[in-house]
Chain A
């Protein structure tokens, strides 16, 4: 056996108060904003219920094995990400450093998204809601032009919140209201992570359970709204033809991967605080299943509300047409209702075609409104806020919704910060006498200062860049090296004995097969496909430019070369840590072996030098 039990008796390592706290922390880390605003969108565009097939296959062959691997690794070696990989092999230390770097980069921009949520939250206490009405222009003759041409909701998001610039190269100025909210968010994160898991363990009870309560409330409310059934039917109607498109499988694989927050190092940190004899296999399966079920559960209220919004928009469209017809032909009110609208139009068109053509009636199609699918920030801050205005008691719904988003994101932030905090604590960056509070304070302060650049006018473009490049490809690479490192360098036989010792039963064949062959292969395929798709077209973005002819449509622009260089840097930096560290140790080894006075210590060598 490679672990001696007595080593773990009193090593002074903090531990979880109880198992439930640990499971809840893992679930909170995995369940994040993506479960609410990315999974329903993917379900919708990839054929509804049919998307669940590639999703569950990816869960089975990629999600659960990798999750189990990380949890077992952390529990077994009882160190943060950097320490764990240094322990397995100094040549693989780069994997830990890469994880740590990704955690830092993601923490920076993720908290800025929470800043936006907080801004909307504190603006929800007004009557009427500020995103429901357009402000007047300077000379009070009409509505603000930008607002009038797009919608009030768009205006509040792009102008009042982001104050977005028309181009990513135009940085604009720092938005002071966002800075205040950013400071608050980082203060909240500091408050919760001030003593590591001692404090996050208490905070997680609220931040992990509260979203489920709110989702249930929204579920009940959503199902009572008119048009909810249309939305749900649209979401879940399976269209098996979409499965022929490889893009669907790729999206399913990446969604599972990013949804479970793998390769961040946070899960390793969480499980390293466990007692060694803990059933990590059951934990992994539990967390993965809860995450997927939460995604499904969240998509029901989201799509009920979207169905409601589409139905309301459809009814508005019909009503506007009806009013113009009634006004034109001076028919009595309520003579044309929504039900007999088409009959009337046909009748009038046959008798007075020129008049009808002159009215320029818009074609109202419910399907078209349902098809307007959005994901990400657009879903939360534009589509959902618009739907909330239409509900009775909008302030309460808005407040609930934004608190839910905030707690969802906060529990994921705990995992991110833990992934940064634990390795630093172990590397003994600060001396032993300095308290943990200082280290977490320094981390939060430095992150806050760095994240100030996301409060510029072009901040949201930069967040998209970080999200697409720092939070995607490096994770795939790091996860690949994790699986290869454990399966082939640490060797499965040794690892399976460790896991057996921890869980108390023999490792299932399923784990052997997935860890050795299926997961690495799947990761490799996903990585290649992902990179191929990215390279195929020059990276572009959609800019909000009021001066664009097609406004309120967004303007498609290409990133300038220096921005593209930054994108590549973000994607490559964490990945390059792996070979660089290996090279560094190789060179160190060579230098040492040339030194005649050097006595080689008992360093682990995978080539079995002691056999």
Chain B
């Protein structure tokens, strides 16, 4: 009896070492970066965490193939390093000597990646399954691009400002016209004496001799002699 037990154990151990080793068929390498993800709240990777990992992978396999035959003991871990990284395989429940095809394991992990990540408080980047790429999430696009809204606000403000200034200018001009007609009436009575032509008071213009360019006034000593 004891001999049979020892023999089974021996076979299982051999099988274990045969099935789970680096670069074995259908084996996957896992790498965790716990300290990067959690900083001071990082937990230590020990046998309990390994147990959790086996449980989660078994759960993923069950959910994927929906036959409740995968047991925690079917998930074999090996070569755990300080990094923390290790290899794992999933064996067939019926015979403990062959491994589940890699594609199935991959699909199962992919389907349940979110649950696996959350069990360890990690993300796709900090819990890496080296041969399994993660699908990218589609970008979040709001129904109206945000920039269009901001643009609309800015444009409305500017147009409002322009219209306000134009209307104010027209009103000011009307007031000035009314004032200048009043002034003309007063001028006829000889009360206001400033006459304006082209915005320049007439006194500054020598109306007889035309417009003298003040820069070059007839100050003879200004002109340079030849």
Contact = CB atoms under 8 A, between A and B. Distances in A.
B103 to A, nearest CB: 18
Given A187-B155, A437-B165, 11 more contacts: A2-B216, A6-B203, A6-B204, A126-B147, A194-B166, A327-B31, A332-B82, A333-B34, A602-B213, A610-B220, A611-B223
Interface centre among A7, A77, A327 (most CB of B within 10 A): A7
16 contacts: A1-B219, A2-B219, A7-B204, A10-B200, A125-B150, A142-B136, A184-B151, A187-B158, A190-B162, A330-B81, A330-B82, A331-B82, A333-B33, A333-B35, A333-B84, A435-B170
Nearest to B45: A332
Contact of B223 (A123, A142, A435, A610): A610
Contacts of B220: 610-611
A435 B169 CA distance: 9
Contacts of B34: 333
A327 B169 CA distance: 73
A122 B150 contact: yes
**Number of chain B interface residues as a range:** 35 or more
Given A12-B200, A191-B158, A4 B147 contact: no
A277 interface: no
A140 B136 contact: yes
B139 interface: yes
A123 B215 contact: no
Contacts of B159: 187
B151 A122 contact: yes
B215 A2 contact: yes
B181 interface: no
B158 A77 contact: no
Nearest to A10: B201
Contact of A122 (B33, B139, B154, B161): B154
B225 A326 contact: no
A195 B165 contact: yes
Interface of B: 31, 33-36, 81-85, 136, 138-139, 146-147, 150-151, 154-155, 158-159, 161-162, 165-166, 169-170, 173, 194, 196, 198-201, 203-204, 210, 212-220, 222-226
Contacts of B213: 87, 602, 604
B83 A327 contact: yes
A608 B217 contact: no
Contacts of B223: 608, 610-611
A77 B224 CA distance: 20
Contacts of A333: 33-36, 83-84
Interface string A1-20: 11110110111110000000
A607 interface: yes
Contacts of A326: 83
B146 to A, nearest CB: 5
Contact of B215 (A3, A10, A437): A3
Contacts of A143: 136
Interface in A1-55: 1-4, 6-7, 9-13
B204 A187 contact: no
A180 B151 contact: yes
A143 B224 CA distance: 77
A405 to B, nearest CB: 15
A437 B82 contact: no
B36 A140 contact: no
B224 A491 contact: yes
Contact of A7 (B165, B166, B214): B214
Contact of B146 (A125, A334, A601): A125
Interface in A58-105: 77, 87
Contact of A187 (B138, B162, B169, B219): B162
A6 B162 CA distance: 37
A87 B215 contact: yes
A133 B139 CA distance: 10
B178 to A, nearest CB: 16
Sort A-B residue pairs by CB-CB distance and give the 5 closest, nearest first.
A12-B199, A330-B81, A332-B82, A608-B223, A122-B150
A334 B34 CA distance: 11
B101 to A, nearest CB: 23
